[in-house]
Every structure is written in C-alpha cells, then in structure tokens.
Amino acid sequence: MKFARYSNQDEVMQGLIVPVYVGGLNWILLGNQYWHNGWVFLIATVLTFVTALLAWFVNNAVGLYLNRRFPDIDQTLVRLSWLLGWCVLAGWSCCTFLYGCYFLLNSPSLPMQPGRLPLVLLFNLVVVLMVIIFYEGIRAFERWERTLRKTEELKKANLQSQFDSLRSQINPHFLFNSLNTLSSLIEEDPEQAEQFVEEMASVYRYLLRSNESQLATLGNELTFAQSYFHLLRTRYGANIHLEQAVDAHFHDHLLPPLTLQLLLENAVKHNVILPEQPLHISIRTEADNRLVVRNNLQRKNTRIISNQVGLTNIATQYRLLGGGDIRVDDDDNFFTVTLPLIRKA
C-alpha cells in the first residue's frame, strides 16, 4: 500500500520526529517506569509508534487535500488554519485513545499518571506546531526551487526562440532577398518600397523587443504577423495568401511572443510557393479560447533539414507558463497547429 507523501522529506521528518514524539508522550503518561521496565517500554512504544505513524499518514492526506482546495498564496493562512485545526484534533484523539488503552491495561507493571493527560495534550500541540512549521518551510523551499528551475527553463526556451527567429531573419540569405526586393521596388514603385522599409523596420523592432516579456497579447502578435507577412507577400506576390478570422474578444489574450512568426516561417520554409501552387495560410480563433494556424500542404521535393525546434520551443514555453498543450495535426492535405490562448490574470 502506497501512502500519500506531503513532501520529498517525509521519511527524514518521520525518522527525526516520531521517535521523539513516542518517547516524550509515553514518558509524560507513564513516568520513569516507561524507561525502567522493558515490558512497559515495548508495549507502549509499539502501540504509540503505530498510532502516531497512522495519524501522520492521515494528516498527510488531509494536508494534500487542503493544498488542492486552497492552492493560492493568498489562501495560505486559511489552509494552515484548517491544517492546524485538523492536526490538533487528530493528535488529541490519538492521545485520548492511548490514554484509554493504558487505562484498560492498567496494572502494577503499567502504572498510569491520570493527572498528566492535559500535559500530554499540550505536548502534542507543541509537536504539531513544530511539524507544520518544518513542513511549510520545506515545501516553501521546494516551491522556490521549482519556480527557479521553471524560470531558468523558460528563459532558455525564450532565448532559443529569439535566437532561432533572429537567425532565420537576420542572415545573409534573408537580407539578400529583402534588399534585392527593395532594390527592385525602388525603381518600379518607390511608394511600395517605402512601405516595404517601414514594415521591415517594424518586424525587426518587434523581434528585438520580444525578450522584454514572457507573454504577448494576441493583438500585438497579429499586428507583427501582418508586418512579417507584408515582407513575404512582397517577395512571393499573389502566390501566398493570409486569411484572418480572429474574434476581437481574444485580442487581449496572451501567448508566447514570436509564436505566429515562427508558424508563418515554418509554412513558407517547408512548402512550394508557385503561381500554380499558391500557399494559403489561415489564422482563426475558436470559442474555447484556442487559436488555430493552418496551411495547405505542398511539400518541397528537396529535402529540408528540420528538427522542429520552433514547434518544440512553442510547446516548451506553453508548458512552463502553465498555458496548456499545443496540438499539431498533419493529414497530408493541411498542416494545423492549435494553440491555447492564455487569459490575462
């Protein structure tokens, strides 16, 4: 039978506290006879040890329930009040039970100290307070460690995402294509060339500012996606299409920054884009707080090396932020990524 563990240090705490509790409680109840009579010592120790250990496991289960019932930091006082009340009640019940057992077994070899029951209850209260304080200290430290570890993992995922985005955009190939497009536009359509420069500046400005926050609003991500798509549309012309069906109600919802850019880039990178094979990308929201990014599949014949770092980073950031899981569907006709939108706190 597997008992609930309240902390990773349960065994250590039990090994340190239960023997002290058993010895102290029996000494108060039975006096020095507890230490001097082997039979008394054996019977009392076994009975008290089993009772204390069972009470410990029950208290653990209650403590875990209260943690689920009152999980927030601002509910700590309420949770600890309930936990203290339960543990004191359970401890006093155990003390009364042991007192009753000793009373029934009362004999010259197992002498009672009737006037010491209030002292036993006080001793139990002190032990309960010490255990709760120790446990809460351990759990606070464990929470701090987990938070620190998640923060470091999230920083790493964010940095990797930013690096991948910048690497894919600020590289000789991208700059060559962008400058070549700009050069052509300057002669053919100066007004469009000016707009291209503005959109390109907007893209880089957003990329460089994306590390300022772990989350971005959907509205800002859509604005950035439009600037990024303008560069793609200028390059590929009418061979690439972007359709948006996003309810304005979701514009304040959150998602990791650069998510849409990574998905647009992924679609362009892996698919043929030709007049007879245009690429269609859609971004839409669903009623259950989800964002769906979808493109038709027309895979390139040449082998594209991909380790799905972009999708992996998006999934990692969602996991660390507690935003849920992303879903990727590939049915050979469409490639679809479904993302949960995070509500503002």
The domain that holds 301 is classified in CATH as 3.30.565.10
Contacts of residue 299, defined as CB under 8 A and 6 or more positions apart, other chains included, come to 270, 271, 272
**Tens-digit pLDDT profile for residues 182-212:** 777 776 777 777 887 887 777 777 777 766 6
| Res 345: pLDDT | 65
| Domain-located, residue 210 | yes
Same domain flag for 92 and 221: no
Q: What is the pLDDT, as a whole number, of residue 240? A: 94
Co-location of 183 and 46 in the same domain: no
> CA 20 to CA 117: how far, in whole Å?
18
Same domain, 215 and 145: no
Give Cα separations from 15 to 10, 94, 110, 144 (angstroms): 9, 19, 27, 25
Q: Do residues 129 and 30 both lie within one domain? A: yes
Regions of the chain short of the pLDDT cut 70: 1-10, 105-115, 156-179, 187, 210-212, 302-310, 345
For residue 45, the enclosing domain spans 10-149
Residue 305 domain-assigned? Answer: yes
Domain-located, residue 1: no
In a domain, 154, yes or no: no
Residues 90 and 185 in one domain: no
Q: How many domains does the chain have?
A: 2
**Looking at the domain assignment, is residue 212 inside a domain?**
yes
Which pLDDT score is estimated for 165? 55
Same domain, 88 and 189: no
Q: Is residue 156 part of a domain?
A: no
Q: pTM here?
A: 0.51
SS (H, E, C) 26-54: HHHHHCCHHHHCHHHHHHHHHHHHHHHHH
Task: Summarize pLDDT for 287-316 with one digit per residue, the tens.
Answer: 889 999 999 999 887 655 554 556 887 887
In a domain, 52, yes or no: yes
In this prediction, residue 138 carries a pLDDT of: 77
CB 203 within 8 A of CB 228: yes
The answer on 334 and 280 residing in a single domain is yes
CA distance 38 to 322: 57
Q: What is the pLDDT of residue 47?
A: 84
Same domain for 201 and 327: yes
- Judge if 127 and 211 occupy the same domain: no
- Do 132 and 175 reside in the same domain of the chain? no
Domain boundary among the residues 97, 116, 149 is at: 149
Quick check: is 301 in a domain?
yes
Q: 98 with 188, same domain?
A: no
Same structural domain for residues 87 and 189? no
Pick from 149, 179, 211: which residue ends a domain?
149
